[in-house]
Structure 1
Amino acid sequence: MTEYAPPDPAKPHELTREAVLGRFLRAHRERLAPAEVGLAPGRRRRTPGLRREELAQLAGLSATWVTWLEQGRPVALSARALASLAGALRLSRAERAYLFELAGRRDPMQAQDEHAPAAVLASVEAINGPAYLLDRQWSALAWNAAAADLFVGWLDPASEDRNLLRSMFLSPGLQALVEDWPHRAARLVSEFRAHSIRHADDPPMRALVEGLIAQSPVFRADWLSQDVEERQGGRRGFQHPLRGLLHFEQLTLVPAAAPGLTLVMLMPA
């Protein structure tokens, strides 16, 4: 059995996840006034902010767990327990995301918060070249006129399914458009696998993958290959039915104001 070694007081800047998480929780507990959570301040309160026992009660957790967390002990908390802590501490959106990242858990609220800010939508229209915005399941939320003109079989007015993955495997028009389609399609699946594991418990994500496995033998084979790749930019070729062979450099960005979304732009190569 491994013996627990508490953080060294002489090293207040220790950067292990447990130590950073402990200092983060303590700092936010101590800056939260009892009155902010409906507690009487009391006459003999020596602790700044909330006591550990009070935070534990508000979060529905054991006071021992709260103590161990602040001490930097390796305590495994569920996403639900972390959400309770975040609520009890009145954490902001950024602070909540930081807490879940430190704890190595996925925030269940992320799947519910995927709206596209107006500024992000406007940026798609402002880009000169083809550009589009994808949601968590890689369905297009917005695209500009240049993208509608380029992506025959996906973003053109005649197409109905705006999901990139489904269109890549089920739309003959998009398959004919993409240069070296077998390679690009397999690469897209390996990139989506790396992306989707962060949202594996989301029902829409599972439904998308299961549906494609049933509908496309090529997708099924690519998915079962277990290949995993990071989302990659670089040169892209398209055999457009009216404009002939076109080449672009693809750039993929994650908007800071909407980290669940993906902005893709294509610049002339």
Structure 2
Amino acid sequence: MTSPSHDATPDTPPPLDTTPARALGEFIRAHRERLTPLAVGLPPGPRRRTPGLRREEVAQLCGVSPTWYTWIEQGRPVSASPDALARIAVALQLSRAERAYLFELAAQRDPAEPDTGGADTPEMLLKTVQLVQSPAYVLDRQWNAIAWNAQAADLFVGWLDGDHDRNLLRYTFLSPVGHTLIVDWESRARRLAAEFRADSIRHLNNAPTRALIDALIAASNAFALFWASQDVGEREGGRREFEHPRDGRIAYDQITFKPAHREDLKLVVLVRES
């Protein structure tokens, strides 16, 4: 069982910390409150004053002390081993993306994470996009498009055509053209915010990333709401529909590729449905 830090005693909790300990606690609490007793095989019991599981129940599922678990949720600077974090991830039934986000917040390596081998050169990735016959583009760590082909420019009006801001998040949340182009905008925008939360955790405190998030929160009520939800999701493939100003309703299947050792870059390809 993981114990509190050496400065703490059961009667004297360590002081409240700021980020990243506070961010870790908020994330864990949000996912505890979403999990029902039935989902983990516990009886519902009497009426609950708080949503989801109780802290004591999660501590029991993780095999840690309720005091330690409470302190970590409160954002206090307690030690958290990879093994304890892994048990929290299992107890809270976190997805793969959510689990990766948990370990990044705690600045720990997931013991279940496999090592990656080999590294693609960014130059080859940038050249590859021009060889694809379908709409394709490359995003950097802030999700700015740094390369795209003619097919992508033709599809993404107001973003990859002409002289526009190349950031995908600003296009989605702040551009009226993007709002019109993307079918089922609210669902897609909510998913995009969750994907960026997962993708950006490794460099969340870098100035460009922090500035982008702060600016979007200030400028877009929708982004602020979705970001505050603490949702985390992997960048998924699947069907994407667009209401194109010239071609009308069109649909694609989206695929995202990440080069090994350069997960801050991604190649996105859209294959049109026949």
Question: What's the TM-score, normalizing by structure 2?
Answer: 0.55
Q: Map 1:27-106 onto structure 2 (within 5 A).
A: 104=109
Alignment of 1:254 onto 2:230: no
2:136 to 127, 131, 151: 131
Distance 1:232 1:129, change over 3 A: same
% of aligned pairs identical? Answer: 52
Residues 173-218 of structure 1: CA deviation (Å, up to 9, x unaligned): 1110001001100110011111111111211110000000011111
Report the secondary structure of 1:263's partner residue. Answer: strand
1:116 aligns to what?
122
Residues 121-166 of structure 1: CA deviation (Å, up to 9, x unaligned): 1110000000000000000000000000000121111x42100011
Amino acid corresponding to residue 130 of structure 2 in structure 1: E
Alpha-carbon separation, structure 1, partners of 2:213 and 2:263: 22
Alpha-carbon separation, structure 2, partners of 1:260 and 1:195: 8
Alignment of 1:196 onto 2:200: yes
Q: Which has the higher contact order (CA 8 A, sep 6+)?
A: 2
Aligned length: 163
Report the secondary structure of 2:172's partner residue. Answer: helix
Alignment of 1:185 onto 2:185: no
Amino acid corresponding to residue 134 of structure 1 in structure 2: L
1:263 aligns to what?
267
Larger Rg: 1
1:152 to 157, 176, 200: 157
RMSD between aligned residues: 2.6
Report the secondary structure of 1:218's partner residue. Answer: helix
2:218 aligns to what?
214
Report the secondary structure of 1:154's partner residue. Answer: coil
Question: What's the TM-score, normalizing by structure 1?
Answer: 0.56
How much has 1:257 moved relative to structure 2? Answer: 7.0
Amino acid corresponding to residue 262 of structure 1 in structure 2: K
